[in-house]
Structure 1
């Protein structure tokens, strides 16, 4: 399972996020360039940038959770005894699993609603845009179940993210 998680998140999802990020940046730069030099920008760049941004945000949040780079406040956890910390983490993983199930479920329901709609300018089916919701939900679910399993098994150790600044290191 660890190998599958590693390949899925470290290679596939990270690669897709990078491609979508480059697409987002390229379309925004094209929009700026055409506004300055042609006075009439390409109409499709605004729409494509918006859609790329949606995918970038949702898949990027999954990748951020996988790399444990999300914002966390550990003040209360640092005050807990080991048993309380163990139970607290189980509760947190259960909330993550619930959120993932809701995101996937309502994302799939939304796909049924927008199935026939097309985007105004590019005429792209909107289900391709909204597909980021259930896909992210499923990816969150896989990740949260794996983290819960590792935590219960006793192999999970949270890795703090260290951000360097001028005055020294800041542990998050």
Structure 2
């Protein structure tokens, strides 16, 4: 895996995320405008806003891990240097991969269960599993990013060992 390929993937992911955020903000503003100016509520707007919000949350979580923008306690890792710090970072990544894998596995199970029930949303008539699909796809993206980070950390640790 090459850093250039990872950066290209992250750029596409950010562009897709930006599009979702744009749609979400646009829908919410249209809803506010029509409700308070024209005194007319658009019934499908809230349902679509909630659906986009779920995608916003789970893809945003994956994107935040690219630059390690999640909230972390760095007391231990800040006090370490060299190989010890790299080993702790690899261990943290492995634990996070385990957690995200469990989330991914369980969300896919829920998604397939919802797909078998063939339930649809009340207004837009969208399959209910589209909401859970956001969690599933977001966790898969997060796993891809974590595995690429683990690969890079492992290469850095091996490069230090060879010196």
Which of the pair is proportionally richer in strand? 1
TM-score, normalization by structure 1: 0.82
Task: Pick which of 63-72 and 23-32 moved more.
Answer: 63-72
Q: Which has the higher contact order (CA 8 A, sep 6+)?
A: 2
In structure 2, the CA distance between the partners of 1:34 and 1:100, relative to structure 1 (3 Å rule), is same
TM-score, normalization by structure 2: 0.86
Which of the pair is proportionally richer in helix? 2
Q: CA RMSD in A?
A: 1.8
Distance 1:86 1:26 in 2: 43
Q: How is 1:17-96 mapped onto 2 (pairs within 5 angstroms)?
A: 17-96=17-96
Structure 1 gap ranges (5+)? 157-172
Cα displacement (A) at 1:81: 4.4
Distance 1:109 1:138 in 2: 14
Distance 1:67 1:82 in 2: 20
User: How many residues of Structure 1 are paired with residues of Structure 2 in the alignment?
Assistant: 155
- Quick check: 2:63–2:142 contact (8 Å CA) kept in 1? no
Structure 2 gap ranges (5+)? 159-163
Q: SS at the partner of 1:67?
A: coil
